[in-house]
Amino acid sequence: MIKIMSIAGARPNFMKLASIVRAIESHNQRLEEETPDKDDTTTGRRQSIKHIIVHTGQHYDARMSHSFFEDLGIPKPDINLEVGSGSHAAQTAEIMKRFEPVLLQEQPDVLLVVGDVNSTIACTLVASKIQYPESSNNRSGRARPLIVHVEAGLRSFDRDMPEEINRILTDAISDLLFVTEESGRTNLLQEGVPENKIHFVGNVMIDTLKQHLERADSSDIRKRLDLPPPMFWSRCIAHPMLTAGKHWNRSSGVLSRLPSRNISFFLYIRGQGTAWNHMVSISVSKKIKILRWQSPLDILIF
């Protein structure tokens, strides 16, 4: 049996994790349906997977985390570090402190991290430096887990973004880099990453979207929110960098350039702290009718 530990801490992680959970469940189910002589556990081929989900608690509000597990059909996390909010430094450090004893206790063969949030880099740093005890029962014989980064190689080329720093550092210390598009592979090769570490695996976010399209399409949200037919624009503004300074100027500029003919605008805000204060002072073209500010909705409904 192979033990894989997956890390989730923020909303994008949950959406990507949903497809990974389904893939692991499908793998284990196929093994159960096959005859025993096809399962060669002695050579490490076709082994079942024990999957451990660790929720760091980076996003700790029920509407921002727990609902994602329910909506996307993800099993309840096995471990919750309950880190909560804080500055980038404080939050990253706290995740590392709380994750290290979990890693030493569970000793997974593989650590799987997704995306580019603080939870991603924090757990990757811990795993890259950990040393399992020599008396460990770890079947892989490794002194630390194999680190796999899903959605590797993506770059904004804006190092003012904390996530860009997380991406670069996570890719630099991971053992296997799973890319979702050709640009990820190109970026990694240009940074000097050996080609044999890079694997194109497709986009798990799109996999999750396709899995839940039918359920989302059947929602009555337009009726409940009294959205006007036949056409409206919606925009989700959640990232702090989109609600402050030069980045907010760009966001509001996009709104002002939207076509005005027969279009209403539905502004959706994920409600991340100070974002509301910035929204109150928004100034956009009078050509656009803003229907309402909207507090968070369930992810599938939106």
pLDDT digits (tens, 9 = 90+) for 54-73: 999 987 665 555 666 677 77
- Whether residue 32 lies inside any domain: the answer is yes
- Whether residue 41 lies inside any domain: the answer is yes
Element housing 112 (H / E): strand 110-114
What band does 165 get if pLDDT is binned at 50, 70 and 90?
very high
Who wins on pLDDT, 23 or 15? 23
Query: CATH number for the domain including 66?
Result: 3.40.50.2000
One domain for residues 119 and 261: no
Mean pLDDT on 215-220: 74
**pLDDT score, position 223:** 74
One domain for residues 118 and 193: yes
One domain for residues 105 and 164: yes
One domain for residues 150 and 102: yes
One domain for residues 174 and 28: yes
pLDDT above 90 for 155: yes
Q: Which of 2-6, 42-46, 61-65, 280-284 has the lowest mean pLDDT?
A: 280-284
CA 240, distance to chain mean position in Å, is 17
Number of domains comprising the chain: 2
One domain for residues 125 and 171: yes
- CA angle 84–276–240, rounded 5-degree value: 55
pLDDT digits (tens, 9 = 90+) for 189-198: 999 999 999 9
One domain for residues 132 and 198: yes
- Whether residue 151 lies inside any domain: the answer is yes
One domain for residues 197 and 229: no
One domain for residues 203 and 156: yes
- Whether residue 299 lies inside any domain: the answer is no
- Whether residue 286 lies inside any domain: the answer is yes
Q: Which structural domain, as residue segments, surrounds residue 260?
A: 220-294
One domain for residues 154 and 244: no
Pick from 201, 60, 180: which is nearest to 167 by CA? 180
Q: What is the pTM of this model?
A: 0.80
One domain for residues 67 and 141: yes
pLDDT above 80 for 251: no
> How many C-beta neighbours within 10 Å does residue 96 have?
18
Q: Which of 167, 196, 212 is the last residue of a domain?
A: 212
Spatial CB neighbours of 177, under 8 Å, sequence gap ≥ 6: 149, 152, 153, 171, 184, 188, 193, 197, 198, 199
Q: Which of 156, 177, 212 is the last residue of a domain?
A: 212
pLDDT above 70 for 236: no
pLDDT digits (tens, 9 = 90+) for 64-97: 556 666 777 778 899 999 998 889 999 999 999 9
pLDDT above 50 for 275: no
One domain for residues 118 and 240: no
Q: Which of 161, 186, 212 is the last residue of a domain?
A: 212
- Whether residue 300 lies inside any domain: the answer is no
